[in-house]
Amino acid sequence: MLMSMTGFGRSSAVTGTKKITAEIKSLNSKQLDLAVRLPYVYRELEPELRQRVGSVLERGKADLTVTVETIGDAPAHVAATIDVGAMAAYKKQVENAAAELGIDVPADWYSVLFRFADVIRTETPAEADAAELEAVRAAVDGAVMALMEHRHAEGMELEKFFAERIDGIAALRESVGAYEGERIERIRARLEEGIAKIPAIDFDRGRLEQEMIFYIEKLDVAEEKQRLGRHLDYFRETMAAPKPGQGKKLGFIAQEMGREINTLGSKSNHAEMQATVVRMKDLLEQIKEQVLNVM
């Protein structure tokens, strides 16, 4: 079973007159990279939330955002107050400056006066109670659960994607056999044709035959095909493992597959066989690109 590192989850919890919403999204990353954004009143929960979320996600670049809104018929609470006395003082100073400089007073006094820092005073937020903190935990846990469900669904799609490409490489591997006999005969004929062009000299025909056999054996691809077949089987077995977390291993197996395919290409000496190797490489590159998303 594969699990993707890509996903999104959202969940809400209500306590009293407040609705708390948690959203989390994740992308692929070699390690866990978690960014947490919380309202100021919940800052004390950040270490705990990091631990709760990190223990589930394990890997990936994730962003967790928690927001809070007032709902129902809650009494209005003003978190900021306007200092009217300060506004009057600043207005007087601006009028005096305009008269002294011979310029017009502002047409929109509000936009000017509200720019002064001490005109609006912000109150320090109250501490959140235990019920509210528990609602934050519930919202975050729900968002993480939704994210993991999304990751699982993405993982199932990745399994289908990989299976199709692995089957494609396996089929191409089998097709190489159709060229092997013809390829050897072509190589032998090319060597004999080259030798025939050499001016007549006395040489040991038996030794020449041995050297030709040795050269042709070096171009044999049976071992590469066998190893590639084992790597394909191992990739399938690893995908089917019951516990997620196979991403790095699948990446290593894909690298080994690439080595065998490259060696097949370097030994091919046959146009159709080289074209087959190119198609294998294309499928393998698609696998390597997507395996980065696997946990």
Nearest to 125 by CA among 50, 187, 70, 64: 70
Q: What is the mean pLDDT of residues 199-210?
A: 63
Does residue 232 register a pLDDT over 70?
A: yes
Nearest to 83 by CA among 109, 124, 116, 112: 116
What contacts 155, CB < 8 A, 6 or more positions away? 1, 2, 3, 4, 244, 294, 295
1 located within any domain: no
Rounded Cα distance between 221 and 219, Å, is 6
Q: Tokens representing 138?
A: 């519930």
Q: Are residues 158 and 270 in the same domain?
A: yes
Over residues 89-109, the pLDDT tens digits come to 999 999 999 999 999 999 898
Does residue 238 register a pLDDT over 90?
A: yes
199 located within any domain: yes
Q: Average the pLDDT over each of 7-21, 116-130, 185-199, 278-292 and give the range with the smallest value.
A: 185-199
Rounded Cα distance between 87 and 110, Å, is 9
The count of structural domains within the chain is 3
218 located within any domain: yes
| Most distant CA atoms of the chain, gap in Å | 117
Q: Are residues 144 and 249 in the same domain?
A: no
2 located within any domain: no
Q: Are residues 167 and 144 in the same domain?
A: no
Q: Are residues 144 and 191 in the same domain?
A: no
More confident residue, 209 or 248: 248
Helix (H), strand (E) at residue 61: strand 60-70
Over residues 137-195, the pLDDT tens digits come to 999 999 999 999 999 999 999 999 999 999 999 999 998 877 766 666 676 666 666 66
248 located within any domain: yes
Does residue 291 register a pLDDT over 90?
A: yes
Confidence of residue 213 (pLDDT cuts 50, 70, 90): low
More confident residue, 35 or 122: 35
Confidence of residue 243 (pLDDT cuts 50, 70, 90): confident
- Bridge partner residues of 66 (DSSP): 22
What CATH number does the domain containing 48 carry? 3.30.230.10
Rounded Cα distance between 223 and 260, Å, is 9
pLDDT of residue 195: 66
Does residue 3 register a pLDDT over 80?
A: yes
Q: Average the pLDDT over each of 54-58, 116-120, 145-149, 240-244 and give the range with the smallest value.
A: 116-120
pLDDT of residue 193: 67
Q: Are residues 101 and 198 in the same domain?
A: no
Over residues 77-86, the pLDDT tens digits come to 555 688 898 8
What contacts 163, CB < 8 A, 6 or more positions away? 236, 239
Q: What is the mean pLDDT of residues 284-294?
A: 95
**pLDDT, mean over the chain:** 86
Q: Are residues 134 and 167 in the same domain?
A: no
User: Strands 80-82 and 120-122: what pairing?
Assistant: antiparallel
**Structural domain boundaries enclosing 184:** 152-291
More confident residue, 219 or 68: 68
Q: Are residues 37 and 160 in the same domain?
A: no
